[in-house]
Amino acid sequence: MISFNRTRKGQSAKMGNEKFYLDGYSFGSKLEAAVYQLLKFRMKAGEIQAIQVQDHIYLTDARIGYDPDFKCTAPDGSHFWVEAKGYANDRWPIKKKLWKFYGPGPLEIWMGNYKNPTLAETIIPKKERET
């Protein structure tokens, strides 16, 4: 198996993305920062009460860790999570499938680029679809 390693100075191992800073937060990509700005607009509109950057949750009883980009609190106190996905890594399909069964709430997946982020999909976990 061939491994791809970015060791040149100034490059990150995350597909060559540079860190982007906004409101005191560090984002892994410009797309992630653009989605954060959209969430802030939704907060001003009253659709979201609070935004938490980089939440950590466990999927399954085996405690498989996943770090969605954002956790949002709705005015009614419920939560939903948001993922900005420019390029999917090799683990993303597995995490996405696990979310469908074990996720703690809805997951919005935003794709595209920072100039035009698009809501591609909202995953409703199985336990919420059954209620």
Burial of 32 (0-12, 13-18, 19+ CB in 10 A): buried
Which residues of the chain register pLDDT less than 50?
1-8, 10-13
Place of tokens 């919005």: 108
Whether residue 35 lies inside any domain: the answer is yes
Helices (H), the chain: 30-44, 92-102, 126-130
CATH number at residue 47: 3.40.1350.10
Domain presence at residue 6: no
54 in Cβ contact with 69 (< 8 Å) = yes
- Looking at the domain assignment, is residue 4 inside a domain? no
CB 109 within 8 A of CB 97: no
Q: What is the pLDDT of residue 15?
A: 54
In this structure, is residue 22 part of a structural domain?
no
Q: What range does the domain containing 54 cover?
A: 30-130
The answer to whether residue 15 sits within a structural domain is: no
The pLDDT score that the predictor gives to residue 42 is 97
Residue 65 lies inside a defined structural domain of this protein: yes
Q: What is the DSSP string of 11-33?
A: --TTTTPPPEEETTEEESSHHHH
Residue 7 lies in a domain: no
Q: What is the pLDDT of residue 6?
A: 45
Q: Is residue 24 part of a domain?
A: no
Q: How many domains, the chain?
A: 1
pLDDT on residue 33? 95
